[in-house]
């Protein structure tokens, strides 16, 4: 199954200090505004021996903005250097409790969740950020320290799940 495949991919991408999982999408305005920080995160992960993956869980938009073809185009346009994975039926998002794009999950080398939430405190402008939640957490994890701020409110567009039709 695809969900199993994504878990395999997560395991394949864990490095010696852990892995950063970014639930993202192609057209959410919050993602678009925060995406200038993705390159910084990629570089930090590369330099800190942390794995990283992007996951698209917007199952309800697979025929539109978040189709496989659009994901490929988006990944090339933005220059992702880490895998951009499809989460079929939002199973991974559901198991993580991911609610928005973006929604960040950082695991340490023991595969323990040490941070979840937002990238920083200002999606509108990288120049107006006062709290770099994720960069600080990445630094602490790469130095084998406990993460001082480990949970912040994820801000973004809701993950577009397919609604199950209930029997009447």
**Digit-coded pLDDT (tens) for 64-88:** 999 999 999 999 999 999 999 999 8
Q: What does pTM read for this prediction? A: 0.93
The residues, ordered by sequence, that sit 6+ positions from 89 with a Cβ below 8 Å of its Cβ are 2, 3, 59, 161, 162
* Distance in angstroms (rounded) separating the CA atoms of residues 84 and 98: 16
Instruction: Determine the pLDDT at residue 163.
Output: 82
Bridge partners, 103 (sequence order): 23
Instruction: Determine the pLDDT at residue 11.
Output: 82
Instruction: Determine the pLDDT at residue 12.
Output: 85
Instruction: Determine the pLDDT at residue 4.
Output: 56
Bridge partners, 101 (sequence order): 157
Identify the CA nearest to 48 among candidates 20, 24, 21: 20
- All residue ranges of the chain with pLDDT < 50 are 1
Instruction: Determine the pLDDT at residue 166.
Output: 61
């Amino acid at each position: 199954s695809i969900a199993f495949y994504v878990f395999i991919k997560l395991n394949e991408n864990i490095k010696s200090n852990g892995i950063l999982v970014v639930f993202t999408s192609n057209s959410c305005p919050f993602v678009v505004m925060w995406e200038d920080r993705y390159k910084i995160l990629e570089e930090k992960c590369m330099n800190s021996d942390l794995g990283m993956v992007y996951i698209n869980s917007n199952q309800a938009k697979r025929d539109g903005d978040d189709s496989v073809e659009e994901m490929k185009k988006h990944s090339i346009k933005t220059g992702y250097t880490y895998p951009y994975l499809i989460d079929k039926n939002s199973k991974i998002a559901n198991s993580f409790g991911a609610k928005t794009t973006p929604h960040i999950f950082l695991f340490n080398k023991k595969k323990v969740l040490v941070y979840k939430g937002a990238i920083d405190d200002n999606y509108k402008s990288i120049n107006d950020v006062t709290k770099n939640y994720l960069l600080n957490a990445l630094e602490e994890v790469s130095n084998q320290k406990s993460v001082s701020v480990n949970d912040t409110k994820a801000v973004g567009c809701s993950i577009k799940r397919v609604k199950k039709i209930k029997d009447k």
